[in-house]
């Protein structure tokens, strides 16, 4: 079971997930319901989960102007795609409150 929380900031949204009991099966992917988001803003994904979950979320969140992945080892979020010239560049590390 996965639970999402959305935090809204002026320039982006933070989508945090939590896997209840720490374990997720691949078969759960197809049932995931991502909460409603503002598609005009960039999005940062954060949470402890398998790489295939992140890849799935990356695909689902493609409509956003930019997407970044929070990496606790960097204390920041790495921009991995952008669809707007105003967006931060791919490879940039965004320092965010978490």
Whole-angstrom distance, CA of residue 74 vs CA of residue 9: 21
CB atoms within 10 A of CB 88: 19
SS3 for 50? coil
Q: Please identify, using beta-carbon distances, which residue of 10 and 60 lies nearer to a copy of itself.
A: 60
Looking at residues 26 to 55 of the shown chain, list those that interact with a copy of itself (rule: CB under 8 A): 26-30, 45, 50-52, 54-55
With contacts defined by CB under 8 A, name the span among 7-15, 33-41, 85-93 that binds a copy of itself.
85-93
With contacts defined by CB under 8 A, name the span among 1-9, 12-20, 34-42, 78-86 that binds a copy of itself.
78-86
Choice from 2, 15, 67, 87 touching a copy of itself (CB under 8 A):
67
Choice from 19, 37, 93, 96 touching a copy of itself (CB under 8 A):
93
Contact 52, 30 (CB under 8 A): no
Contact 40, 66 (CB under 8 A): no
Q: Would you say the C-alpha torsion 10, 40, 43, 2 has a positive or negative sign?
A: positive
Enumerate binding residues for a copy of itself (CB under 8 A). 26-30, 45, 50-52, 54-56, 58-59, 62, 67-69, 71, 74, 78-81, 89-93
């Amino acid at each position: 079971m996965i639970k999402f929380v959305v935090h809204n900031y002026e320039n982006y949204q933070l989508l945090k997930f939590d896997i209840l009991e720490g374990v997720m099966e691949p078969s759960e992917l197809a049932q995931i319901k991502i909460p409603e988001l503002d598609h005009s803003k960039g999005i940062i994904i954060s949470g402890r989960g398998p790489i295939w979950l992140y890849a799935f979320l990356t695909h689902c969140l493609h409509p956003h102007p930019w997407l970044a992945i929070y990496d606790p080892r960097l204390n920041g979020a790495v921009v991995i795609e952008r669809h707007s010239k105003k967006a931060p560049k791919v490879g940039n590390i965004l320092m965010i409150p978490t």
